[in-house]
């Protein structure tokens, strides 16, 4: 697991932030991405990941992606995980 990661808190601008995250993965070499349901940006992070994989800048096996449940998700963590995975 990489020791330095890209925190995605407050990265919610759907116009700019997927490009910024893509550059962080491709140009800066980030392989650890820290997300959370509460940040409301898992889809944006997913777009950046998909783009980096599609343009063959990185392989999925090289990325370490963390997301976290929010308190409201504790009642059904399996569904929360499925939702996060679909977004990412």
Assess contact for 54 and 87: CB atoms under 8 A. Answer: no
Q: Which of 21, 22, 33, 39 is catalytic?
A: 39
Task: Cite the DSSP H helix spans in the chain.
Answer: 17-26, 42-54, 77-87
Q: By C-alpha distance, which of 71, 54, 72, 65 is closest to 87?
A: 65
Known catalytic residue: 9?
Answer: no
Positions marked active-site: 39
């Amino acid at each position: 697991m990489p020791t330095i990661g890209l925190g995605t808190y407050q990265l919610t601008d759907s116009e700019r932030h997927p490009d910024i995250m893509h550059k962080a993965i491709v140009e800066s070499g980030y392989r650890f991405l820290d997300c959370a349901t509460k940040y409301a940006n898992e889809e944006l992070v997913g777009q950046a990941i998909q783009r980096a994989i599609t343009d063959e800048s990185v392989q999925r096996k090289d990325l370490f992606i963390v997301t976290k449940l929010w308190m409201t998700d504790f009642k059904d963590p399996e569904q929360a995980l499925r939702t996060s995975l679909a977004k990412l």
